[in-house]
Amino acid sequence: MKVRHAHALAMIEESRAGYPLEVCGVLLGRGPFVHAVVPVPNREATRPQVRYQIAPEDLARVQREGREVGLDIVGYYHSHPDHPSRPSDTDRAFAAEGLSDGVVHVVVGIDASRRATLTAWIFRDRGADFDRVDLEVE
């Protein structure tokens, strides 16, 4: 997955602004290239400090807007406030439901001092775990 420096910075800044809650969004692009980072509201009502939810209507809107300019959903991102930048058990359970097979998940680990770490992962098989993928920032 390749992202421009401005896109990586946008994910980090949103994670800082949303701290201590998880933030989330959609990555639009072509192939392994991200061309747009689209923040969406975290619709998780019960535990937004440790979970995120992208509403179907938000996802449909982003997908439609992306297609209008020739871009597809190539992944998602979300933050992990005060947790490592790797998928959690909740992330794995969500992926195992088949809702995000084969797309990249960028996890932004953010702590109280606002230090941020970005990692990228892909989930391909219900019986497996996430595999780390290279995240190239250009």
Is 22 a catalytic site residue? yes
CA dihedral 127, 92, 35, 61 (to 10 degrees): 110
* Alpha-carbon span 35 to 10, nearest angstrom: 12
For the stretch 94-97, contacts whose Cβ atoms lie closer than 8 Å and that sit 24 or more positions apart, written own/partner, are 95/123, 95/130, 96/123, 96/126
Q: SS3 for 35?
A: strand
The catalytically annotated residue of 22, 57, 65, 136 is: 22
Q: Are 121 and 77 in contact (CB under 8 A)?
A: no
Q: Which two tokens stand for residue 102?
A: 């084969």
* Alpha-carbon span 72 to 70, nearest angstrom: 7
Supply the residues annotated as catalytic.
22
